[in-house]
Amino acid sequence: MSESTDLAVSLGAGTISFEIDGSLYPQDALYGAAYVFLDRCYVLLDRVSDNRVRVLLRGKTKDAALDGDALAGEFQNELLGQTWRRKIAEDNRSLIEAITARALGGAAGPPGLDDLLEMDVGSETAFDDPLGIAMSWEEKYAKGKSDAAKTAKDAAPADAAPAEDPPEVTP
């Protein structure tokens, strides 16, 4: 037997269900809100139609009286909070990144001798030059440009910055 309120449908046995409009909320926010409930509930997200997502929450402790409306309302507020935080973080991304980098960099300071000594520089890797930094401009771009550049790029690790394009040269 089910019982309906504005916020949710109670399915009995400590289980509630409600639908949300998926076009209003980013999927990450939906996952984030669901995650907050993992300690208290079993959570199921199910797509009902293109823009409708059904949320099912079942309390983990059977004997606990489940206030379905409160749980649904808390989930919906959390979903709105996660969505709004995400938007604010996107809007202020440059400022947040600048402050964070400055704060952590200022607090940690530059690496000391001990840090440098601990870096993974072995005899086999000490002279690697994956970005072609030690190469002359001519070696890298002018003579056999495509081969040299290709070698440098091929050798670069996946997370390294891409090699710069050669500068424009005016005769």
Partner 1 sequence: MNVQNPLPAFRPFVAAGAAAQKPLDLVEVRYRPLPNAGGDVLLTNPFGDWVFVTQGEMSALVRGQLDDGTPLHQKLAAKNFIRSKISVETEAKRLARKKRFLAYGPNLHICVVTLRCNETCVYCHASRADMDQVQTDMSPEIGEKVVDFMLQSTSPGVTLEFQGGEPLANFPVMKHIIEYAVQKNRAYGKQLDFTLVSNLGLMTEDKLSYLVDHKVQICTSIDGPEALHTKQRVLVGGNSHREAARWIERINKKYIELGLDPTLYHVEALLTTTREALKYPREIVDTYRNLGCRAIFLRPVDPFGFAKKTAGRIEYDRREYHDFYRTAVDHILSLNAKGEEILERYAAIFLTKILMDEDSNFLDIRSPSGSAIGALAYNYDGSIFSSDEGRMIHEMGDDFFKIGDVRTSKYRDVMKHETVRALVLASIRETQPDCNVCTYAPYCGIQPEHSYRSQGSIFGQMRQSTLCSVHKGIQDFLFEKLHTGDASTVDTLKRWTTIRERSHFIQSSAAS
Out of 24, 44, 64, 88, name the contact with partner 1 by CB under 8 A.
88
Under 8 Å between Cβ of 41 and 91:
no
Identify which of residues 18 and 37 has a Cβ nearer to partner 1 in the complex: 37
Query: CB atoms < 10 A from the CB of 86, how many?
Result: 15
Q: Do the Cβ atoms of 32 and 82 come closer than 8 Å?
A: yes
Residue 70 makes contact with partner 1 by CB under 8 A: no
Indicate whether 107 belongs to the interface with partner 1 (CB under 8 A).
yes
* Selected binder of partner 1 within 47, 52, 60, 102 (CB under 8 A): 102
Can you say whether the dihedral through the CA atoms of 91, 95, 100, 105 is positive or negative?
A: positive
- Kindly state whether residue 89 participates in binding partner 1, applying the rule CB under 8 A: yes
Nearer to partner 1, 25 or 141 (CB): 25
Of the candidates 75, 58, 85, the one whose C-alpha atom is nearest the C-alpha of residue 20 is 75
CB contact at 8 A, 4 and 15? no
Which 3 state secondary structure label does DSSP give 128? Answer: coil
Q: Give the separation between CA 72 and CA 76, rounded to whole angstroms.
A: 6
Residue number, 89 or 142, with CB nearest to partner 1: 89
Q: Which position among 6, 49, 106, 170 is part of the footprint of partner 1 (CB under 8 A)?
A: 106
Residue 96 lies near partner 1 (rule: CB under 8 A): yes
* Residue ranges in contact with partner 1 by CB under 8 A: 81, 84-85, 88-89, 92, 95-96, 99-100, 102-104, 106-109, 111-112, 114-115
